[in-house]
Amino acid sequence: MHEMSLAEGVLQLIEDAARKQEFSKVNTVWLEIGSLSGVEVEAMKFCFDAVTRDSIAQGARLEVITLAGTGWCMACAQTVPMNEVFGECPHCGGHQMQVTGGTEMRLKELEVD
């Protein structure tokens, strides 16, 4: 389950921010997760709860913002929505697709005390 290491990475980012900005409690964490990232949102929430125990983010609410997948079709030269990495172009049915968005995961915002 790679979500555990991802959650540990998020906690590290939070702890680094707490040292730099001198806050003592995290109430809410907003994560942007792309629909093509391979991250299972429910697993991420479970892992986040587990890794934040006894930390500055213990009890923090995790809010996930899902980012849509997008791609560039080389056959028809259009940017198109994508639901799967190796999907076909919804315009021309071609399979020469380059993913251009929806694979990322980033810490967007923190609500802190």
Partners of 99 in beta bridges? 71
C-beta of residue 33 within 8 angstroms of C-beta of residue 44:
yes
CATH code of residue 56? 3.30.2320.50
Does 9 reside within a domain? yes
- CA 50 from chain centre, in angstroms, equals 18
- CA 39 from chain centre, in angstroms, equals 7
Does 95 reside within a domain? no
pLDDT at 97: 95
Does 34 reside within a domain? yes
- Number of domains comprising the chain: 1
Does 23 reside within a domain? yes
Q: 18-22, 84-88, 97-101: which range is least confident on average?
A: 84-88
Does 85 reside within a domain? no
Instruction: Kindly report, residue by residue over 63-95, the tens digit of the pLDDT.
Output: 999 999 999 999 999 999 999 999 899 999 999
Does 76 reside within a domain? no
Alpha helices by DSSP H, listed for the chain, are 3-21, 41-51
Instruction: Kindly report, residue by residue over 29-59, the tens digit of the pLDDT.
Output: 999 999 999 999 999 999 999 999 999 999 9
The boundaries of the domain holding residue 29 are: 3-68+102-112
Using 50, 70 and 90 to split pLDDT, how confident is the model at 106?
very high
Does 86 reside within a domain? no
Does 89 reside within a domain? no
pLDDT at 1: 58
